[in-house]
Structure 1
Amino acid sequence: MTLPGRPAAARGGPAAGLRVIKVGPGEHYVTGAPGEAISTTLGSCVAACIRDPVARVGGLNHFMLPRSTDGTWGKAMASLRYGNFAMEQLINDILVRGGQKARLEVKVFGGGRLTLDQAGIGEGNATYVEAYLAAEGMLPLIAELRGSVARKLLYIPVEGRVFMQELSTATGRIAATETRFERTLPHRLSIGEAELFG
């Protein structure tokens, strides 16, 4: 089981005393450790925080585009950058560790429309995750989607707690990062098929 992510220094506040794993675009992390939290920063990307409260295992993904048929990103295989792969992988990794689909608790965030998001990428990501969860019969407890600001998340899976901070002052910087990622998109994908990063 692949669980990307990088340890980050825990500061004060809700992260105090926790080992914080930073998850970037196209990554996910699953844990059952009481002392672990997962963090990410979103613009037009979406993150799903999913856990089984009985098995006390859960994780977070961070996807950049709604869907892909083959999971490639340019010349590289980067399937977890796409919502359809990222959602399945996160759920499967939780199930492998003792979770049960009927018990899963879901919270979703992101899909913002930042200043440079002229293609409506955040809207596409938000619409995709809503449709995916509806099709799977998974009603999110929290859906903090769309809007015009970036968001920083800290998720503590074992407890099921999520802390969200709006980053209005960082929106321009995150939008610029998204634009750089946009240049690496496969040319064969139309805007209707795939939309972009956060």
Structure 2
Amino acid sequence: MPDSLDPSLPRIFLSAGELACPERPSIITTVLGSCVSLCLWDRVRCAGGMNHYALPYPFTADEEPNARYGAWAIEGLYECLLEQGSRPAHLEAKLFGGAALIPAPQAQLDIGGRNVALGLSELRRLGVPLKARRTGGQHGLLLHFRTDTAEVLLRRAGG
């Protein structure tokens, strides 16, 4: 593992439907397939966080807010950083995941593509610039995000 992902830093593992914005420098790790992770980083405070969402929106309008859905996961991460003192103008983003692990003949079944589209749309709405992106494809990703430097280490999942 590169020095940038210092093994002495605290580790946080995210499953689908979780987000983290630790106040101390940490390394957040997750494994993505069709799910997407958005990494937000405050370049002035040198602090960041990450989410891991499985679907863009809930299936029903009466569902409780839940970070499994991108619409809430992105807003939740954004609000968490603002509560810690970040300013919207200081934030930047990196977006990962959204693979098509099982080829589907119908575009509406492209959950990964829909997750990515939602992430890009929400970043435009919030006015947060996208600094890096690795989305789509047919393979999952192992993602490590260092919250104090915004450094990312990606590996193809399964090899």
Shorter-chain TM range is: 0.7 to 0.9
Deviation at 1:168, TM superposition (A): 4.9
Q: In the alignment, which residue of structure 2 is the partner of 1:114?
A: 101
Alignment of 1:11-160 (within 5 A): 12-13=1-2, 14-34=5-25, 36-68=26-58, 70=61, 72=63, 77=64, 79-115=66-102, 119-160=109-150
Structure 1 residues 107 and 71, CA, compared in 2 at 3 Å: closer, same or farther? Answer: farther
Aligned-residue RMSD, C-alpha: 1.9
After superposition, give the CA deviation of every residue in 1:114-155 in whole Å (9 maximum; x if it has no partner): 026662111111111111112222221001111111001111
Q: In the alignment, which residue of structure 2 is the partner of 1:188?
A: none
Report the TM-score, using the length of structure 1 for normalisation: 0.71
Which structure 2 segments of 5+ residues have no match?
none
Q: Which has the larger radius of gyration?
A: 1
Structure 1 residues 71 and 57, CA, compared in 2 at 3 Å: closer, same or farther? Answer: farther
Distance 1:71 1:111 in 2: 26
Instruction: Say if 2:31 and 2:157, in contact at 8 Å, map to a contact too.
Output: no
Give 3-state SS (helix, strand or coil) of 1:80's partner.
Answer: coil
Which structure 1 segments of 5+ residues have no match?
1-11, 170-198
Q: 48-57 or 112-121, which moves further after superposition?
A: 112-121
